[in-house]
Amino acid sequence: MWRRMHPLSGIVALLTIASFWVSTVISELSGSEQAIIAVKQVIPWGLLLLVPALALTGASGFTLGRGDTSALIASKRRRMPIIAANGILVLVPCALTLALMTRDGELDAWFYPVQVIELMAGAVNVALMGLNARDGMLLTGRVARLRDPSS
């Protein structure tokens, strides 16, 4: 069960965060205040999908990796506290703050610094989760290691 649950929940989590990030960038680039408000109001509802997906990914990963001392598992283990802390301490508070600000029509001087912090933290999590996905695929043999053509 964990072998199926881990990649599925990881993909859901990664795609959810990536969709938040891309939606935010598109709404900002559109210049439409309505689009920005709509995206910022929807993201907290997306946390209802994201948080359980991340919890399942973490629980299944710890279960699957128990006792494994490979370098790939060690790399994934080193990334996980950063991903978790970034999400709990930065992304969730930013998402909720931005939702409250847009609900109250406060797209002011405080909105944009919080928005930039959220985008940077989101990009970090997408990158780290992508590396974890890559390492997971290498571990299971779903993708082969790239070989140096000169060797």
Q: What pLDDT does 130 receive? A: 95
Residue 39 forms part of a structural domain = yes
Residue 61 forms part of a structural domain = yes
Q: What pLDDT does 5 receive? A: 87
Residue 17 forms part of a structural domain = yes
Q: Is the pLDDT at 146 greater than 60, yes or no? A: no
Could you give the number of structural domains in the chain? Answer: 1
**Average pLDDT in the 69-78 region?**
90
Q: What pLDDT does 65 receive? A: 85
Residue 49 forms part of a structural domain = yes
Residue 30: other Cβ atoms inside 10 A: 12
Question: 15-24: long-range contacts (C-beta < 8 A, 24 or more apart)?
Answer: 16/46, 16/49, 16/50, 16/53, 17/50, 17/91, 17/122, 17/125, 17/126, 17/129, 18/126, 19/46, 20/46, 20/95, 20/122, 21/119, 21/122, 21/123, 21/126, 24/115, 24/118, 24/119, 24/122
Q: Is the pLDDT at 148 greater than 70, yes or no? A: no
Give dist(CA 39, CA 37) in Å, integer. Answer: 6
Q: What pLDDT does 151 receive? A: 42
What does the DSSP 8-state code read for residue 5? H
Residue 116 forms part of a structural domain = yes
Q: What pLDDT does 96 receive? A: 97
Q: What is the chain's mean pLDDT, rounded?
A: 91
Give dist(CA 135, CA 40) in Å, integer. Answer: 32
Residue 104 forms part of a structural domain = yes
Q: Domain range spanning residue 21? A: 2-140
**Average pLDDT in the 55-67 region?**
89
**Average pLDDT in the 22-49 region?**
96
More confident residue, 68 or 24: 24
> Which domain CATH number covers 56?
1.20.120
